[in-house]
């Protein structure tokens, strides 16, 4: 019984948090909304969102700005948006209601 419960728990948690995914670097940033401790980045074309976040958006990701490593990612996103360069993303899990970005892949 414990084994069955453990397996059921494993499946429940794996479906609540999507696996890491790569969004190809053919996206153009169309909007960046900056708040006190986070940024929401919107881009086109959309992607297939398998992260099971509360927002069904397929064209937005979220970045926490309270972590120092994410500030480098944010700077890269700003540069890509300003130069209208194509970008890709590594996403995994949710940050708020959108997929959480942990990597940015600029195409210069």
Give the model confidence (pLDDT) of 68-105 as tens digits: 889 999 999 999 999 999 999 999 999 889 999 999 99
Alpha-carbon distance 89 to 45, whole Å? 13
* 31-64 per-position pLDDT tens digit: 999 999 999 999 999 998 889 999 988 999 999 9
Is 43:24 a contact under the CB 8 Å cutoff?
A: no
**What does pTM read for this prediction?**
0.78
pLDDT confidence bin for 18, thresholds 50/70/90: low
Is 65:76 a contact under the CB 8 Å cutoff?
A: no
Domain regions of the chain by residue span: 18-107
Q: Is 18-107 a domain of CATH 2.40.50.110?
A: yes
pLDDT confidence bin for 17, thresholds 50/70/90: low
pLDDT confidence bin for 8, thresholds 50/70/90: very low
> Nearest CA to 37 among 71, 60, 61?
71
């Amino acid at each position: 019984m414990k084994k069955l419960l453990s397996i059921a728990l494993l499946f429940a948690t794996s479906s609540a948090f999507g696996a890491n995914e790569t969004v190809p670097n053919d996206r153009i940033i169309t909007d960046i909304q900056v708040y006190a401790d986070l940024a929401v980045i919107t881009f086109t074309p959309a992607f297939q969102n398998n992260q099971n976040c509360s927002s069904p958006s397929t064209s937005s990701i979220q970045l926490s700005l309270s972590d120092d490593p994410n500030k480098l990612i944010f700077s890269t996103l700003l540069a890509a948006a300003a130069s209208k360069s194509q970008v890709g993303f590594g996403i995994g899990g949710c940050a708020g209601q959108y997929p959480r970005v942990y990597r940015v892949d600029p195409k210069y």
